[in-house]
Amino acid sequence: MIYYIIYKNKIDNPISIGESSFKNFWTDIGFKILCNMADNHPNELDNVIVKSEDGKERQIDKFLKEISKLKIIGESK
């Protein structure tokens, strides 16, 4: 499953966070953006959502809880 970070005011411009499969999560550029936002601009997290390729939307905390069960592969920062 591929996940995207979407700014609420730019819903037509999703950025790939990464892909989950086989108990792994392979990160993409959006994961770096999300980590940077959490570290340096946490108030901005309210302005984004995570959307999966099946169209399901998640809040950031729910997404992070989902992938916490997976092995993260790739650079996180």
Q: Which two tokens stand for residue 4?
A: 């995207």
Average pLDDT over residues 66-73: 94
Q: How many CA atoms lie within 13 A of 26 on its CB side?
A: 5
Name the domain count of the chain.
1
Q: What is residue 77's predicted lDDT score, i.e. its pLDDT?
A: 46
What pLDDT is attached to residue 6?
Answer: 93
- Residue 76's pLDDT is what? 46
Cα–Cα distance measured from residue 26 to residue 19, given in angstroms and rounded to the nearest whole number: 5
The whole-number pLDDT of residue 12 equals 80
Task: Give the range of the structural domain holding residue 15, as residue numbers without chain letter.
Answer: 2-73
pLDDT tens across 16-62, in order? 999 999 999 999 999 999 999 999 999 999 999 999 999 999 999 89
- pTM of this structure: 0.85
